[in-house]
Structure 1
Amino acid sequence: MAAESKGPVSYFPSIEERYGRPIAAWLELIEGSGVSGHKALVDWLKAEHGLGHGHANALVAYHLNPGKWPAYTA
């Protein structure tokens, strides 16, 4: 990941470190959740997986806007 990363991608290293899963695994969980809509997905990640609001928001923003943010590679 480039040092100047902005937006949701800038949260990804801390998400992986804090919650112990790679970003790809979080994105797969979101995809298979059956939940739609930004707020509903953020609430789901917080309730079901214990993520903080900022981390859940970053994952959902990245998931719902493919191509807007740079690809993430750890």
Structure 2
Amino acid sequence: MTEKVQGPASYFPSIEKKYGQPIDHWMSHLDAVKDKKHMEQVDYLKTEHGMGHGHANAVVAVYRANNGLS
């Protein structure tokens, strides 16, 4: 039985559908601003890539968790 994805990653299917790129694409873009704070990274995805706030926040939250950033 497959467990339902919860938390920020639950947005990933809709992010991939809306923006036409896999999540790895967005994670690699965040490498360019890895030293920035959470909200600075969110703003980067919003301003440079046209991502909505909720989607950008979800991607950043998972990126930071996967890279040991607080």
TM-score (norm 1): 0.81
Gaps of 5+ in 2: none
Identity %: 46
C-alpha distance in 2 between matches for 1:19 and 1:3 = 25
Count of residue pairs brought into register by the alignment: 67
Runs of 4+ aligned structure 1 residues displaced above 6 Å come to none
Alignment correspondent of 1:31: 31
Structure ranking higher in helix proportion: 2
Amino acid corresponding to residue 20 of structure 2 in structure 1: G
TM-score (norm 2): 0.85
Alignment correspondent of 2:14: 14
CA-based RMSD of the aligned residues comes to 2.0
Higher relative contact order by CA 8 Å / sep ≥ 6: 1 or 2? Answer: 1
C-alpha distance in 1 between matches for 2:48 and 2:56 = 11
